[in-house]
Amino acid sequence: MAKEKEHINVAMIGHVDHGKSTLIGRLLYDAGEIPEHLIEKYRKEAQEKGKATFEFAWVMDKLKEERERGITIDVAHRKFETEKYMITIVDCPGHRDFIKNMITGASQADAAILVVDVVDCVQAQTKEHVFLARTLGINQLIVAINKMDRVNYDQKAFEKCKEAVAKLIKLVGYKPEEVPFIPVSAYYGDNVFKKSDKMTWYNGPTIKEALDLLKPPEKLIDKPLRIPIQDVYSISGVGTVPVGRVESGVLKVGDKVIFEPPGVVGEVKSIEMHHEPIKEAYPGDNIGFNVRGVSKNDIRRGDVAGHPDNPPTVARDFTAQIVVLQHPTAITVGYTPVVHAHTAQVACRFVELQKKIDPRTGAVKEENPQFLKTGDAAVVKLEPTRPMVIEKVKDIPPLGRFAVRDMGMTVAAGMVLDVTPRK
């Protein structure tokens, strides 16, 4: 079997209506993932509904619609290949889905494409998405200045918008000189996969070339083993089979493993991935593994498997840097929303509001604030109401990021700076 290409997760961010869906549709189409006849069909439908130019956007929306109707769609629809990488696009339609996808899914995005309309340029959501990407640890950025056809492919319009975006991303700590700014027309395919002959003044990379210039994600092989459990099955004739994605370390057949918080220990009898038996599993692998000595009732979704000599950290409390994305009133000490980290969902109490900080510089704005409101960044201490595993973001990043949810919305997003273990 040919060695699989390195996999990279890319979040598509930016203000609503700036052309994110069209750009994704165009990327998938140019990559040969969407047949011509389908685009033609959408083009006709779009024109009939008075929504000309929406055909590429509908590629994604058709998937969304089908998802909503509960038909499973092969994720391959959102994957495409470049020369170097297998790319999975994490579409970020709204804040909420974005954060949930980013934090809980397998979509720890390694990079983001920020889509900005050349005419409207920086809008409120453009700012929010950039702050968010930064807070969630996305260090690589590509800026697509879209809808160049609206300004007749004019270089001055591009430069003007580029300047505004450069200023914004610099505020949060990206280095504009390291970020490609690409003038594109997603709808017409200019500078998406192919270089555009309408903008001879531009000599940088296309979107596809910029994707190939990204650095691959660090494989956390030399870190301690961590497998957040998504599901546990009891299979007759086999036994207990937990299922999850290896986030760090290596799991081998014959290993002893401990599941935390319950603290139960078992031995790995077999591992399988995509229904094929494998001898060892590495970070990024989605696996099922049969464990002897552990019953289905001992473990559940949200538990984390590790090796007994370096077990997952069960937190008594943890200190985190958060950004409040939306809250109808204010967050004060005693507030107890649900924290979503890896596959766990545990109610956690805010026990200290230590300091308000400037999200761009990290400078302290206020010590021990009385409350936090929408838009604030802060360092806080949280106490889980029942045992949960969480790790420092600098030790094991995928287990150190979380979302705070309440009232059916994502209230805040954050990363763990320190953990006080229970033991």
For 297-317, give the DSSP string: GG--TT-EEE-TTSPPPBEEE
Contact 331, 348 (CB under 8 A): no
Per-residue confidence (pLDDT) for residue 141, from 0 to 100: 96
The dotted CATH code for 227-306 is 2.40.30.10
Asked if the domains 6-212 and 227-306 are classified in one and the same CATH topology, the answer is no
Per-residue confidence (pLDDT) for residue 67, from 0 to 100: 47
How far is it, in rounded angstroms, from Cα 88 to Cα 27? 11
Domain ranges of the chain: 6-212, 227-306, 315-421
Count of Cβ atoms closer than 10 Å to residue 253 Cβ: 16
Gyration radius of the chain over CA positions = 23
Per-residue confidence (pLDDT) for residue 398, from 0 to 100: 85
Question: Within 13 Å and on the Cβ side, how many CA atoms surround 19?
Answer: 29
Per-residue confidence (pLDDT) for residue 32, from 0 to 100: 87
Per-residue confidence (pLDDT) for residue 361, from 0 to 100: 63
Distance (Å) of CA 359 to CA 131, 268, 422: 8, 44, 30
Per-residue confidence (pLDDT) for residue 7, from 0 to 100: 80
| Nearest Cα residue to 23 out of 107, 69, 80 | 80
DSSP lists the bridge partners of residue 185 as 190
Highest CATH level, class, for 6-212: alpha beta
CA angle 162, 164, 167 (to 5 degrees): 105
pLDDT along the chain (423 residues), means of 10: 70 83 88 84 81 72 54 50 86 58 57 94 84 78 97 97 94 91 96 96 97 89 95 90 93 98 97 90 89 95 97 97 87 95 93 87 88 91 98 90 84 90 88
Per-residue confidence (pLDDT) for residue 222, from 0 to 100: 93
Per-residue confidence (pLDDT) for residue 56, from 0 to 100: 78
| Nearest Cα residue to 186 out of 65, 48, 12 | 12
| Nearest Cα residue to 158 out of 201, 106, 196 | 201
Contact 284, 88 (CB under 8 A): no
Structure tokens that stand for 359 in this block:
């999200």
When the candidates are 3.30.565.10, 1.10.287.610, 2.40.30.10, 3.40.640.10, the CATH number that belongs to 315-421 is 2.40.30.10
- Give alpha helix (H) positions in 49-111: 55-68, 95-104
Q: Is the pTM of this model over 0.75?
A: no
Per-residue confidence (pLDDT) for residue 139, from 0 to 100: 87
Q: What is the three-class DSSP state of 171?
A: helix
